[in-house]
A = this chain, B = another copy of it.
Amino acid sequence: MNAITEKKYGKTALKILHCATDLFAEKGFDGTIMDELADRCGVNKASIYYHFNDKAMLYEVCMTHLFKQVADQVISQVDKADSAEQKLKTFIYEFAKGAYQHKQMPATLMREIAAAGKNMPIPARQQMQRLLQTLKAILKQGEQLGLFRTVDPLMTHFMIIGSLSFHITSEPMRLAIQTETKMDPTLDEAIGHVSELIYHALLNN
């Protein structure tokens, strides 16, 4: 059942997984057509079906792996930080970095939430819940130490992942429009702004 990380994938299978993750993020589950995927990764369609049962199963493997990768990275780094303040900053920083490096993740997240998780594999959803639990623990710790105000953890979570997801995924659109003379914030600037805004929002007094 859980063929996600256990089995070793060969070169072809990995190529398929990579391209499929990109294409699913770009076009969504319904918008992705298997012939196009085969073309993109220079692999015959039959090869895809040789390695993966069907489109839904391929989607599940891709998305589970994608979300786990980012969640693992965030959580392992947060665990290394010691103060609540540092943990919070690390959470924001690592999520932003992970989401930027794997842009397919915020794109899929937004699409899946918009679709009420219609195609969202349960393991992928669980990775998002791990992240929420991690943030909750940070907020609780900071609150108990008298550092942070009492805030709603879910809305705080949405503020962080929402603003960063919007920022990262809207980048191509913003660059395409380019009506403004003002500079678009870069990722590092965006991380700085979010960090700073959230930090101010949480700080006691």
Residues of chain A at the chain B interface (Cβ within 8 Å):
25-31, 106-108, 110-111, 113-118, 125, 129, 149, 151-152, 154-156, 158-159, 161-167, 169-170, 172-173, 176-177, 179, 184-185, 189-190, 193-194, 196-198, 200-203
CB atoms of B151 and A193 under 8 A apart: yes
Among B154, B166, B169, B193, point to the contact of A185 (Cβ < 8 A). B154
CB atoms of B185 and A152 under 8 A apart: yes
| Cβ contacts under 8 Å, A155 to chain B | 163, 167, 185, 190, 193-194, 197
Q: In the bound complex, how far is the Cα of B177 from the Cα of A152, in angstroms?
A: 19
CB atoms of B161 and A116 under 8 A apart: no
Main secondary structure of the interface of A (DSSP, over half): helix
Among B115, B159, B196, point to the contact of A163 (Cβ < 8 A). B159
CB atoms of A167 and B163 under 8 A apart: no
CB atoms of A111 and B28 under 8 A apart: yes
Among B26, B110, B179, B203, point to the contact of A110 (Cβ < 8 A). B110
Interface centre among A114, A167, A169, A189, by most B CB within 10 Å? A114
| Cβ contacts under 8 Å, A28 to chain B | 28, 30-31, 111, 114-115
Additional A-B contact list (12), CB under 8 Å, known A110-B114, A154-B184, A155-B197:
A26-B115, A27-B118, A107-B114, A110-B110, A117-B173, A125-B173, A151-B197, A154-B167, A155-B190, A155-B194, A158-B164, A159-B194
Q: In the bound complex, how far is the Cα of B115 from the Cα of A185, in angstroms?
A: 20
CB atoms of B117 and A149 under 8 A apart: no
Smallest CB separation, A197 vs chain B (Å)? 4
CB atoms of B111 and A169 under 8 A apart: no
